[in-house]
């Protein structure tokens, strides 16, 4: 199972997109807007990584965004950025923990 399939299969994840930090679309599950999401999240991910460096936080591995209608988890992998759209937003915490557990097992 690929990293994208792992994230897409988690409870609470309504869609998942695989891209890179340059915004290149590499794959998607359950969304027709994968190319747009990959482009936007590539920009957001690159910017947040730069902010993490400026703040002295070290190598960031994930970012989460949340609003009243849903949430989003961006996971930085060695050669990719995985975006998980999470619904309802209250599922964000459990999704973050599940992603951390799954990727710890891979490293």
- Domains of the chain, with CATH numbers? 3-106 (3.30.450.30)
pLDDT, tens digit, for every residue of 29-64?
Answer: 999 999 999 999 999 999 999 999 999 998 899 999
Q: What is the chain's mean pLDDT, rounded?
A: 95
The number of beta carbons lying within 10 Å of the beta carbon of residue 8 is 23
pTM for the model? 0.94
pLDDT, tens digit, for every residue of 9-19?
Answer: 999 999 999 99
Give the model's pLDDT for residue 56.
97
How far, in Å, CA of 1 to CA of 29, rounded? 13
25-29 vs 62-66, strand pairing mode: unpaired
């Amino acid at each position: 199972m690929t990293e994208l399939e792992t994230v897409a299969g988690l409870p609470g994840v309504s869609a998942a997109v695989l891209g890179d930090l340059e915004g290149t679309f590499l794959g998607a599950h359950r969304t027709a807007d994968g190319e747009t999401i990959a482009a936007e999240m590539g920009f957001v991910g690159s910017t947040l990584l730069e902010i993490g460096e400026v703040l002295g936080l070290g190598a960031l591995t994930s970012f989460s965004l949340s609003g009243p209608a849903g949430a989003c988890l961006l996971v930085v992998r060695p050669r990719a950025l995985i975006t998980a759209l999470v619904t309802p937003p209250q599922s964000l915490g459990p999704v973050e923990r599940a992603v951390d557990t799954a990727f710890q097992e891979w490293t």
